[in-house]
């Protein structure tokens, strides 16, 4: 992580999760990350709606030029980056696997701006809509009204021993004899 805000938010998230794969959303105290709130957002885990914003900090809304509540997060990304960010967000939410990404965007004057995107999962609970949180921090102080976001790099942050791929997790649940329907 290159941006100071990303490191601070990840450290807070990491402390809240303890030995769990991710913390519960109810454990977060906004006052504990007061200085970061302007860059923090919360997304609904709803692939069909493009992962809409539940809440977005004032700086994030200002960077993107509008009130972001209920707007699609993945629609902010262009071309191939849109499907990539949707795949990353699915892994973050389903695998409880934090991710960090480098993002470029176009300013209203046509210049390139560079940002760091941190995506962090919450523990999934029964009867509670799944969500994830994150932080979008620009490296340039003069970045205003950004559009056409594109991924430049990304990686997952959990140590390998905590990573359990979806397929392996499903196989661990299915013990004993499994019957597959199909041809004879």
* pLDDT-derived band at 30, boundaries 50, 70, 90: confident
More confident residue, 115 or 159: 115
Tell me: the pLDDT tens digits for 4-24?
Answer: 999 999 999 999 988 888 888
Q: What is the mean pLDDT of the chain?
A: 85
Token pair for 121: 């999962």
Contact present, 86 and 51 (Cβ < 8 Å): yes
d(CA 71, CA 52): 5
Contact present, 14 and 32 (Cβ < 8 Å): no
Q: What is the pTM of this model?
A: 0.82
Tell me: the pLDDT tens digits for 130-181?
Answer: 789 999 999 988 777 899 999 999 999 875 444 455 555 555 555 555 565 6
Contact present, 174 and 100 (Cβ < 8 Å): no
End-to-end CA distance of the chain: 53
Element (H, E) at 136: strand 131-138
What are the residues whose beta carbons fall under 8 Å from the beta carbon of 21, sequence distance 6 or more? 96, 121, 123, 158, 162
Tell me the C-alpha to C-alpha distance, in Å, between residue 167 and each of 40, 97, 170. 31, 15, 5
Rg (CA), the chain: 18
Residue 27 has pLDDT above 50, yes or no: yes
CA angle 88/92/98 to nearest 5° reads 105
pLDDT at 128: 60
């Amino acid at each position: 992580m290159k941006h100071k805000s990303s490191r601070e938010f990840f450290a807070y998230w990491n402390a809240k999760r303890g030995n769990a794969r991710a913390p519960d959303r109810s454990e977060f105290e906004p006052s504990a990350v007061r200085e970061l709130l302007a860059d923090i957002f919360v997304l609904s885990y709803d692939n069909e709606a493009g992962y809409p914003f539940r809440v977005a900090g004032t700086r994030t809304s200002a960077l993107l030029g509008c009130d972001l509540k209920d707007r699609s997060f993945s629609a902010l990304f262009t071309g191939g980056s849109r499907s990539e960010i949707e795949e990353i967000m699915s892994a973050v939410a389903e695998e409880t696997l934090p991710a960090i990404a480098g993002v470029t965007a176009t300013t209203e004057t046509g210049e390139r701006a560079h940002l760091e995107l941190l995506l962090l999962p919450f523990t999934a609970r029964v009867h509670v809509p799944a969500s994830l949180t994150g932080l979008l921090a620009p490296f340039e102080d003069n970045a205003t009204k950004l559009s056409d976001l594109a991924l430049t790099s990304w990686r997952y942050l959990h140590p390998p021993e905590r990573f359990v791929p979806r397929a392996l997790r499903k196989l661990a649940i299915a013990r004993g004899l499994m019957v597959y329907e199909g041809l004879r």
